[in-house]
Structure formats: C-alpha cells, structure tokens
C-alpha cells in the first residue's frame, strides 16, 4: 500500500512514521509513505494556502486551488489514483470498520484539513471520503491523518507479528478486552485472580469471556448491542455476578490510603 499525505506541516510526520511499527512496516516494504508540503502548490510567492471566507465571518479557509493542484501532482507520482481522504470534524466517524475498509486499498491520499475548514469545492469535487477521528476540534488534521495511517497500516498483512490475527479478532468480535496480568502473581499484596493460575484452560476461557462481556456491558453498552453473542454469552450476562470484577470496587486488598 502507498499512502500520500498532503499537509502544511510535513515535518510533523517524520517523528511518527520514522519509528516503531510504522518504520518496520516501511522497511519490510509492506507500506510506503510520502509526505508533501501543500505550500509547494500555493501558486504565490508568499506560499499562502488560506484566505478569508466569502460572506464574512471569523477565521480562514483553505483555498481550493493548492489542494486541487497538490492532489493532481501527487496522484501522478504513483498508481492507482486511490481514494482521497479529507480529515475534518464533519467527516464520517473513523472506527475499526473504516480502518479495515481503507486497509483494503492499494493507495490512499490524505489531505490534512486546517483553519476553520476547506473551500467546499474540495469536498464536492475531489474528496471521496471525509473522516473524523472523534467529536473534538483540533488545530489541524495532521494528528487525525497519523491516527488513520497507524490504524490502517497495522492491519496490512505482515505488519504486526503472529499475534496480529488474535488482536484484530478481539475487536472484530465487538467486545472490549478482558483484563490481563503478568508476573508476579502477587505484587504489593495485590493478587492475580486464582483462575488464571489454575492451568484450567476451559475455566480461563470462560472467565475471560465473562469479564469481556461484563466490562463491555458496563463501559460500552453501545458496543454490546452490536456484538455477536452466543447462547453461553447471554447466560453469562444474565447470571448474577459470582465474583466482583477486577478493579478498585473491592478495595479490601489495597493498602490504606496514605500508608
């Protein structure tokens, strides 16, 4: 997959794309990133890419012409043309299913939105997708573009290790993760649940499933409503809580405050 990003802050991307999983994905040849400075297509010697809104009002608007010229030039750099994604608070909410959809593409071109918005003609005539990463307003679309890139690239075959199938499956199932512990079995008097030390794989599987279900019910009932639940799942959710869920509500195993 090739991902092109068009931005007024190209320097923001190197520290993120140049490290960790994104670095390894590029080194393995699984994904190629190219970041482009929108100002190179400003068409004026001040490299100005914004202007005042028609009809008046506060703030500045991204001009259509630099974006159209940048997209045209960037598209010519590689095949296929690919979808054109605009990041903005007015877009379709980005989630794991959108990430999967975008990960199926061979090419993406992302325009990081800025100022109070972009000239509407960019939306009408150029963008195939407008994506929001959540209901808050950022100073620019660079962080949303990086969020998209990370969520999409990690889904490409070979980017993660052998565990990737399982990690993706757990969200594909539509539930939150069950809680996990690692050594030591007791730390500061805080124990790991017995069942996980029992070696009883079937008991562990059932306990984890129940934890994931209860946690999802409590924290994200919206996810639970869309999840695929088995008969066993429904029984677990209907059963009275046999044991308090891990967390702080038990309290009795903690040190008294201030000790």
The binding site for ligand JDE (CB under 6 A) comprises 87-89, 113-114, 116-118, 132-134, 136-138, 140-141, 144
Closest distance to ligand JDE from the beta carbon of 90 (Å): 7
Closest distance to ligand JDE from the beta carbon of 204 (Å): 39
Closer Cβ to ligand JDE, 140 or 173, answer by number? 140
Q: Is 19 a catalytic residue?
A: no
Closer Cβ to ligand JDE, 89 or 179, answer by number? 89
Q: d(Cα 214, Cα 8) in Å, to the nearest integer?
A: 45
Tokens encoding 36: 């482009």
Q: Is 37 a catalytic residue?
A: no
Closer Cβ to ligand JDE, 31 or 118, answer by number? 118
Closer Cβ to ligand JDE, 146 or 236, answer by number? 146
Of 66, 130, 154, 215, the catalytic one is: 154
Closest distance to ligand JDE from the beta carbon of 62 (Å): 7
Of 24, 37, 75, 89, the catalytic one is: 89
Of 51, 65, 116, 233, the catalytic one is: 116
Closer Cβ to ligand JDE, 49 or 175, answer by number? 49
Q: Is 193 a catalytic residue?
A: no
Residue 63 CB contacts under 8 Å (≥ 6 apart), including other chains? 48, 49, 50, 51, 119
Closest distance to ligand JDE from the beta carbon of 168 (Å): 23
Closest distance to ligand JDE from the beta carbon of 135 (Å): 7
- Which residue number has the CB closest to ligand JDE? 113
Of 169, 222, 238, 255, the catalytic one is: 169
Catalytic residues, which ones?
89, 116, 154, 169
């Amino acid at each position: 997959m090739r991902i092109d990003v068009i931005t007024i802050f190209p320097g923001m991307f190197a520290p993120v794309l140049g490290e960790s999983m994104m670095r390894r994905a590029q080194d393995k040849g699984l994904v190629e990133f190219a970041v482009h400075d929108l100002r190179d297509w400003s068409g004026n010697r001040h490299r100005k890419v914004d202007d005042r809104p028609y009809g008046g009002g506060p703030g500045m608007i991204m001009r259509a012409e630099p974006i159209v010229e940048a997209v045209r030039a960037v598209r010519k750099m590689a095949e296929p043309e690919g979808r054109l994604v605009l990041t903005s608070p007015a877009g379709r909410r980005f989630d794991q299913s959108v990430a999967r959809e975008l990960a199926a593409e061979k090419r993406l071109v992302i325009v990081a939105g800025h100022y109070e918005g972009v000239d509407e003609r960019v939306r009408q005539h150029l963008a195939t997708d407008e994506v929001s990463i959540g209901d808050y307003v950022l100073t620019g679309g660079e962080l949303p573009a990086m969020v998209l890139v990370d969520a999409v690239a990690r889904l490409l075959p070979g980017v993660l290790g052998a565990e990737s199938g399982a990690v993706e499956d757990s969200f594909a199932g539509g539930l939150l993760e069950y809680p996990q512990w690692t050594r030591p079995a007791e730390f500061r008097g805080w124990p790991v649940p017995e069942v996980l030390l029992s070696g009883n794989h079937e008991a562990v599987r059932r306990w984890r499933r129940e934890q994931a279900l209860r946690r999802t019910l409590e924290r994200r009932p919206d996810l639970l409503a869309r999840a695929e639940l088995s008969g066993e799942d429904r029984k677990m959710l209907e059963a009275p809580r046999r044991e308090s869920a891990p967390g702080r509500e038990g309290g009795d195993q903690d040190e008294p405050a201030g000790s």
